[in-house]
Amino acid sequence: MLSVFDHSSVRELRLNRPPANALSCELIVALREAIEVAAADGRRAVVLSGSPARFSGGLDVPLLLGYDHEKVATLWHEFYALLKSLAMSPLPIAAAITGHAPAGGTVLGLFCDYRFMAEGDFKIGLNEVQVGIPLPPVILGALRRLVGPRQAERLGVGGLLLSPAQALAAGLVDELAPPGEVIDRAIGWCQTLLDLPPGAMRSTRKLARADLAAWFERDLEPELQQVIAQWWAPETQKTLRALAERLGKKRVSTA
Which domains are seen in the chain, by residue range? 2-181 (3.90.226.10)
**What would the pLDDT profile of 75-102 be if each residue is shown by its tens digit?**
999 999 999 999 999 999 999 999 999 9
- pLDDT average, residue stretch 200-219: 97
The upper half-sphere exposure of residue 240, i.e. CA atoms within 13 Å in the direction of its Cβ, equals 21
Per the CB < 8 A criterion, the answer to whether 111 and 84 are in contact is: no
CA 210 from centroid of its chain's CA atoms: 19
| Other CB atoms within 10 Å distance of the CB of residue 133 | 22
Report the C-alpha gap between 222 and 216 in whole angstroms: 13
In sequence order, what DSSP letters do the residues of 176-232 get, joined into one string? EE-TTTHHHHHHHHHHHHHTS-HHHHHHHHHHHTHHHHHGGGS--HHHHHHHHHHHT
pLDDT at residue 73 greater than cutoff 80: yes
- pLDDT average, residue stretch 34-56: 97
**What would the pLDDT profile of 108-137 be if each residue is shown by its tens digit?**
999 999 999 999 999 999 999 998 889 999
pLDDT at residue 254 greater than cutoff 50: no
Report the C-alpha gap between 236 and 129 in whole angstroms: 9
